[in-house]
Amino acid sequence: MDDRCSESLHWNGGAALLFEAGARNIKQFSSFEAGGQNEPKAVFVVSTVLKGRTADIIKDIISLSHFQYCVVFTTVPHSIHLLANNVTTELEGNPVFEQFEEKLCEWMGDMNYTAEVMHVPVVFAPLTQQLHLLPAFSDLFPLLEVDLEAINEKRPEKRRFGSLMDVDMHSLPPELQIQIKSLASALNALFEFISTREESYSVGPISRLIAGELASHPQAKNRRKSAPNKASIVFIDRSLDLTGAVGHHGDNLVEKILSVLPQLPGHVTDVQVDMLELTHLKQTAEGILAPGCLAQNQSATARLLWETMLVAKQKEAVMEVRRQLVEAASKENLPIKMSLGRVTAEQLCSYVQLFRDSWGALESHSGVLQLGLAAAQALRHPALPRWDACLAFERLLLQALGDSDLAEVLKQLLPLIKSSESGTGSGSGDLSVDDLLVLLVYVYSMAQEACPGGPEEEKRIEKVENELIGALTLRLTQQTTLSPLLQEITGISGPVELTVKHAHSALENVFETLRGVSHARDHLKHFNSVYTASDGAHQATYRPLLKQVLEEIFHPDRRECPDVEHMSGGLTDLLKTGFSMFMKVTRPHPSDHPLLFLFLVGGVTPSELRLIREVVSNHKSGTQVLVMSTRLLRPSDVPHLLFSADRLKPDIGV
């Protein structure tokens, strides 16, 4: 099973489900794995197109094994396999899958052996009942100005696009088309499964393409005729509001856990929880203890605790962690010392340690114990002061943007870059280059509306940008090690090979992307600002785009909003607009139906989940809101998605 599918499995109940269903062994999808002598049957589960690299790996595994029966499940539907093989006509049956079945038999070494190839959309990972992620699309991110330039470069001058909103599906590279069509197909399968007909809406260019693809999906027409349930789905581009994505909000426990604990290998979302406290092992016993994690699907108590941790304020979340640990301990008659007042990491650990001598207690409460340890390890983590330092700088920059122009605000970042040059940058409050990139995204994502400047101003900004690039170049070339992010941005693995010239050009690209970030909302009429300036009585504030969109959707007057575009395939809408000249026609509105899906293309943060919950309950609309997204964001994910991921050519396994 490949990493993306195993991440979906992980949040659906994990490997235990497969073992219960009779699997003998579960292995990573890699050319270095194989089946044993006595293992005649194999099942492959992949999230990619069955050609190129994916096919090579399957071939490698089979040729090292003794299989007589192979089943391959791919999350990419057959119609998209045709597209990947440049077949434009509709064909009967599943010829691509049938051809692959023959290849499998060839590789097994006997055409009489059995091979089956099927499509199943196992792409959803339910983090909670209200939040579903799609790990297979975790690198899908809205396009930016730099991507538009790359698209235009390949087009004749007269046919170049003026803005990202003009880009159509056919002008995208095939890899991105395949990914968008696969996503639309997975959502179509979901609506089919819950027999629902949906109305699609979009805010932003890539959302528009996905919504359009879903609206005109060939299999959706029959479903929409007969489906008894109705829902709205609103797609929103993450790139329209990166301020919220990189902000270090002080008030969410899970954001901190995700940021400071190491990721589970091969996972985009979940982290490793050190289980040492549950044993009597010495600190040196590294590598023999499997890590715990946040996905606790086995026990209902742990699931509820996880939901609280995800959306509650930090104080409520840690109180709830303590309450659950105390409850579990008293259920098991463990000698617990009750203490009130502030919850500390030490206190949580002391509660967890009570369980280590009772194997039965440990097993029956393992979910709550892992979440308790995750909370404790995050609260006492040495990187936490840096989180607070970033939060403090963000607050200062937010106010500074209102008081002075962008050039002045950027100047304030110069001493931050230089101050850490002298040290190694590992001090508790010192900011690393990665942190500085996050702060730059924070500033640029609000710069346009906070300091609209003329050509004079632009020259000054450019001058300061060049100073920043210079200071960051110097800082980069002085690094003793390069973080994974810096390795991705520079394309170089060690500081020894990093030349000044190379660092400088990598940083020039970073700033070019940042300038595009500041123009991401230019095409919006209503939601074109996430910044409210200070009016003397109140400080300047950040207004989340998501909140603005939801307030608009649930507004009691059902106002029409030009930025929330209704996408639906079909003649009826054209007829409706024609008739509306003569009679009153109510236009579809996202709040029409009892169920609303919010799909954030490019990721959602835990703080935003709370915000969605608050807005929905304030409006008492009676609508159930389900959130879907490509990933759960940490601030440090954003520079990766902006500066180093290839947005135009995502990895589709070919």
b/e burial code for range 334-361 (CB count within 10 A of at least 16 → b)? bebeeeeeebebebbbbbbebbbeeeeb
Is residue 538 domain-resident?
Answer: no
Q: Structural domain of residue 328, as residue ranges? A: 262-380
- For 265, counting Cβ atoms within 10 Å of its Cβ (0-12 exposed, 13-18 middle, 19+ buried), the class is exposed
Q: Cα 184–185–186 angle (5° rounding)?
A: 90
Is residue 389 domain-resident?
Answer: yes
Shared-domain flag, residues 410 and 373: no
Is residue 253 domain-resident?
Answer: no
Q: How far apart are CA 296 and CA 310, in angstroms?
A: 13
- Give me 19's structure tokens: 């073992």
Q: How far apart are CA 139 and CA 145, in angstroms?
A: 18
Contact in structure between 268 and 262 (CB atoms under 8 Å) = no
Q: Among candidates 140, 135, 109, 108, which has minimal Cα distance to 123?
A: 135
pLDDT at 204: 94
Residue carrying structure tokens 């994910």: 637
Is residue 98 domain-resident?
Answer: yes
Residue carrying structure tokens 């973080």: 483
- Give me 211's structure tokens: 């919504």
Is residue 159 domain-resident?
Answer: yes
Residues whose CB is less than 8 angstroms from the CB of residue 570 and which lie 6 or more positions away in sequence, other chains included: 215
Shared-domain flag, residues 309 and 292: yes
Q: How far apart are CA 490 and CA 482, in angstroms?
A: 10
Shared-domain flag, residues 342 and 224: no
Measure Cα distances from 329 to 325, 362, 366 in Å. 6, 10, 12
Is residue 80 domain-resident?
Answer: yes
Shared-domain flag, residues 99 and 127: no
Shared-domain flag, residues 115 and 146: no
Is residue 539 domain-resident?
Answer: no
Q: What DSSP character marks residue 628?
A: E
Is residue 246 domain-resident?
Answer: no
Shared-domain flag, residues 360 and 446: no
Shared-domain flag, residues 268 and 317: yes
The full DSSP string for 540-570 is -EE--HHHHHHHHHT-TT----TTSEEE--S
pLDDT at 427: 47
Shared-domain flag, residues 19 and 136: no
Q: How far apart are CA 393 and CA 420, in angstroms?
A: 15
Of 519, 535, 565, the residue that ends a domain is 519
Q: How far apart are CA 242 and CA 557, in angstroms?
A: 29
Shared-domain flag, residues 292 and 403: no
Q: Among candidates 188, 148, 183, which has minimal Cα distance to 47?
A: 183
Q: What H or E segment, with its residue span, contains residue 40?
A: none
Half-sphere exposure of 179 (CA within 13 A, CB side): 26
* Spacing of C-alpha 368 from chain mean position: 25
pLDDT at 285: 59
Half-sphere exposure of 648 (CA within 13 A, CB side): 16
- Give me 427's structure tokens: 């001090």
Contact in structure between 540 and 402 (CB atoms under 8 Å) = yes
Shared-domain flag, residues 275 and 195: no
Q: What H or E segment, with its residue span, contains residue 443?
A: helix 433-450
**pLDDT averages per 10-residue partition of the chain, 654 residues:** 96 94 94 94 96 96 96 95 87 92 96 96 94 96 94 92 93 95 95 93 95 89 87 96 90 94 94 91 75 91 95 94 94 84 90 91 93 96 90 90 85 83 50 92 86 78 92 90 91 87 94 92 90 83 93 88 81 51 70 94 95 92 93 95 92 87
Shared-domain flag, residues 29 and 130: no
Shared-domain flag, residues 373 and 408: no
Q: Among candidates 551, 462, 573, which has minimal Cα distance to 508?
A: 462
* Spacing of C-alpha 176 from chain mean position: 17
User: HEC profile for 494-542?
Assistant: CHHHCCHHHHHHHHHHHHHHHHHHHCCCCCCCCCCCCEECCCCCCCCEE
Of 92, 119, 146, the residue that ends a domain is 119
Helices 253-260, 300-311: axis angle to 10 degrees equals: 100
Of 380, 400, 417, the residue that ends a domain is 380
Q: How many domains does the chain have?
A: 4
Contact in structure between 273 and 381 (CB atoms under 8 Å) = no
Q: Among candidates 189, 154, 186, which has minimal Cα distance to 170?
A: 154
Helices 366-379, 314-331: axis angle to 10 degrees equals: 140
